[in-house]
């Protein structure tokens, strides 16, 4: 009988010890040390396994004195005091030859020409071309290279036009040339914005 009584005393003491061990103070310490342990393990694993091997400045690049920052797939640069977003970095467009645009003088008034059978005034790329050119000149308008379906837009003749006229023409290759008083930019259907941005980079002095 004494043994049984002794046994019960041991059990009650063990319960008290367990309860005292799992009191609020000890639980708080366990949680704190657990968090510290996780942080230490995370730091160690990052230094050995998760270290970023991407070169510093991978999302930033300097090109001819202009700083380009990449964010969500687009490049942004401050040009002429304006932050402008681009689809292409100028280095990506170096192989596109539009040398004719380099020597083409942009006058104070510029017309963006298109064939109404190929493009419309509301075309997103042409609107972008106008927006970019407006950062260089204050007067940029749309004009038609043909007389059909042009609405109230002026019909521009490259032989007689006195202002600058940039004619975007769909083609099977990318190239640029002058014809009378017009700068002709021929583009493959998927490359129109490449030529637009290359034109801007060239006339803004980013690509020299």
Domains of the chain by start residue, with CATH:
97-202 (3.40.50)
Integer Cα distance of 183 and 108 in angstroms: 15
Q: Which long-range contacts (CB under 8 A, 24 or more apart) does 148-152 make?
A: 148/116, 148/117, 149/116, 149/117, 150/116, 151/121
Burial label, 67 (beta-carbon count in 10 A; 0-12, 13-18, 19+): exposed
Integer Cα distance of 31 and 46 in angstroms: 22
Q: What confidence tens digit (pLDDT) does each residue in 107-152 have?
A: 999 999 999 988 888 999 999 999 999 999 999 999 999 888 888 8
Give me the mean pLDDT over the 172-178 stretch.
97
Query: ∠179-185-188 over CA atoms, to 5°?
Result: 140
- Indicate whether this model's pTM tops 0.75: no
Look at residues 9, 50, 42 and name the one whose alpha carbon lies nearest to residue 34. Answer: 42
pLDDT computed for residue 52 by the predictor: 36
pLDDT computed for residue 58 by the predictor: 57
């Amino acid at each position: 009988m004494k043994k049984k009584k002794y046994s019960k005393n041991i059990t009650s003491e063990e319960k008290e010890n367990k309860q005292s061990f799992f009191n609020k103070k000890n639980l708080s310490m366990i949680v704190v040390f657990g968090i510290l342990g996780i942080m230490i393990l995370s730091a160690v694993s990052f230094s050995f396994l998760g270290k970023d091997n991407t070169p510093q400045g991978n999302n930033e690049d300097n090109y001819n004195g202009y700083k380009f920052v990449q964010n969500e797939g687009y490049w942004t640069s401050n040009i002429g005091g304006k932050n402008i977003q681009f689809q292409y970095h100028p280095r990506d467009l170096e192989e596109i030859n539009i040398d004719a645009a380099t020597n083409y003088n942009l006058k104070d008034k510029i017309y963006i020409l298109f064939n109404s059978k190929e493009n419309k005034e509301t075309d997103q790329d042409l609107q972008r071309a106008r927006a970019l050119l407006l950062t260089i000149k204050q007067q940029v308008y749309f004009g038609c290279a043909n007389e059909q379906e042009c609405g109230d837009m002026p019909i521009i003749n490259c032989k007689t036009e006195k202002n600058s006229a940039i004619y975007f023409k769909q083609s099977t290759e990318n190239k640029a040339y002058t014809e009378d008083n017009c700068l002709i930019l021929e583009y493959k259907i998927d490359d129109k914005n490449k030529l637009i941005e290359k034109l801007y980079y060239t006339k803004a002095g980013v690509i020299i």
